[in-house]
Structure 1
Amino acid sequence: MSQDVETTYPDEGTPELEPFNAVAPLRNEGDRPEPDDAPAAARHVFGNPDAEICVVEFGDYECPYCAGAAPVLHELVESSQGQIRLVFQNFPLFETHPYALTAALAAESAEATGGPEVFWKMHHKLFKNQSRLTDGDLRLYAEHVGADPDRAAGEKAQEFAPLVQADYAAGVASGVVGTPTIFIDGAPYQGVVDVPSLRRAAGGLSSAPRKRFFGLL
Structure 2
Amino acid sequence: MANLKIPVGPDDHIQGNEDAAVTLVEYGDYQCPYCGDAYPQVKELQAEFPDDLRFVFRNFPITQLHPNAASAAATAEFAGSKGHFWEAHDALYENQESLGAPLYVELVSRLGLDPVELRDAIQADAFDERIRNDFNGGVRSGVNGTPSFFLNSVRFDGPVEALRDAIAELIAAAK
Query: Do the two structures share a fold, i.e. TM-score over 0.5?
Result: yes
Aligned-residue identity in percent: 36
Aligned-pair CA distance for 1:121: 1.5
Aligned-pair CA distance for 1:39: 5.5
Give, as a single letter, the amino acid of the residue that structure 2 aligns with 1:199. R
TM-score in terms of structure 2 length: 0.87
Asked if 1:124 is matched to 2:124, the reply is no
Aligned-pair CA distance for 1:73: 0.8
Matched with 1:144 is: 110
Give structure 2 stretches of 5+ with no counterpart: none
Give, as a single letter, the amino acid of the residue that structure 2 aligns with 1:131. E
Matched with 1:20 is: none
TM-score in terms of structure 1 length: 0.71
Q: Give distance in 2, aligned partners of 1:77 and 1:126.
A: 18
Asked if 1:203 is matched to 2:172, the reply is no
Q: For residues 75-101 of structure 1, give each alpha carbon's deviation from its aligned partner in whole angstroms, at most 9, with x where no partner exists.
A: 211221310011000000001100100
Choose 1 or 2 for highest CA Rg: 1
Matched with 2:154 is: 187
Matched with 1:19 is: none
Instruction: Give 4+ residue runs of structure 1 displaced > 3 Å after superposition.
Output: 38-42
Q: Give distance in 2, aligned partners of 1:65 and 1:80.
A: 22
Matched with 1:70 is: 39
Q: Give distance in 1, aligned partners of 2:48 and 2:112.
A: 27
Task: Identify, as 1 or 2, the structure richer in helix.
Answer: 2
Aligned-pair CA distance for 1:151: 3.1
Count of residues in correspondence between the two structures: 170
Give, as a single letter, the amino acid of the residue that structure 2 aligns with 1:152. L
Aligned-pair CA distance for 1:70: 1.1
Give, as a single letter, the amino acid of the residue that structure 1 aligns with 2:102. G
Aligned Cα root-mean-square deviation (Å):
2.0
Partner of 1:88, secondary structure, is strand
Aligned-pair CA distance for 1:162: 1.1
